[in-house]
Amino acid sequence: MNFQNLLLEQPETGVYLLTVNRPRALNALNAATLAELTQAIAAVVADSAARVLLLTGAGEKAFVAGADIGEMQSLTAAQAQAFSEAGMRVMHALEALPVPAIALVQGYALGGGCELAMACDWIIAADSAVFGQPEVNLGIPPGFGGTQRLARLVGRARALELVTTARQVRADEALAIGLVTQVVPAAALRDRGLELARTIAAKAPVAVRLAKQAVHRGLDVDLGNACAQETAAFALAFASADQREGMRAFLEKRSAKFSGQ
Give the type of residue at 209: R
Give the type of residue at 65: A
Going by DSSP bridges, is the β-strand pair 15-20/52-57 parallel, antiparallel, or unpaired? parallel
The mean predicted confidence, pLDDT, of the chain is 95
Class of domain 205-251: mainly alpha
* pLDDT for 1 beyond 90: no
pLDDT tier, 259 (very low <50, low <70, confident <90, very high otherwise)? confident
Query: Model-level pTM?
Result: 0.93
| Intrachain domains 6-201 and 205-251 with the same fold | no
* pLDDT for 23 beyond 80: yes
Q: Could you list the active site residues?
A: 115, 135
Structural contact between residues 226 and 234, judged by C-beta atoms closer than 8 angstroms: no
pLDDT tier, 27 (very low <50, low <70, confident <90, very high otherwise)? very high
* pLDDT for 4 beyond 90: yes
Q: At what angle do helices 77-96 and 31-46 cross, to 10 degrees?
A: 20
The pLDDT tens digits for 109-157 are 999 999 999 999 999 999 999 999 999 999 999 999 999 999 999 999 9
Structural contact between residues 245 and 256, judged by C-beta atoms closer than 8 angstroms: yes
Domain boundaries, the chain: 6-201, 205-251
CATH 3.40.50.300 is held by the domain 6-201: no
* pLDDT for 261 beyond 90: no
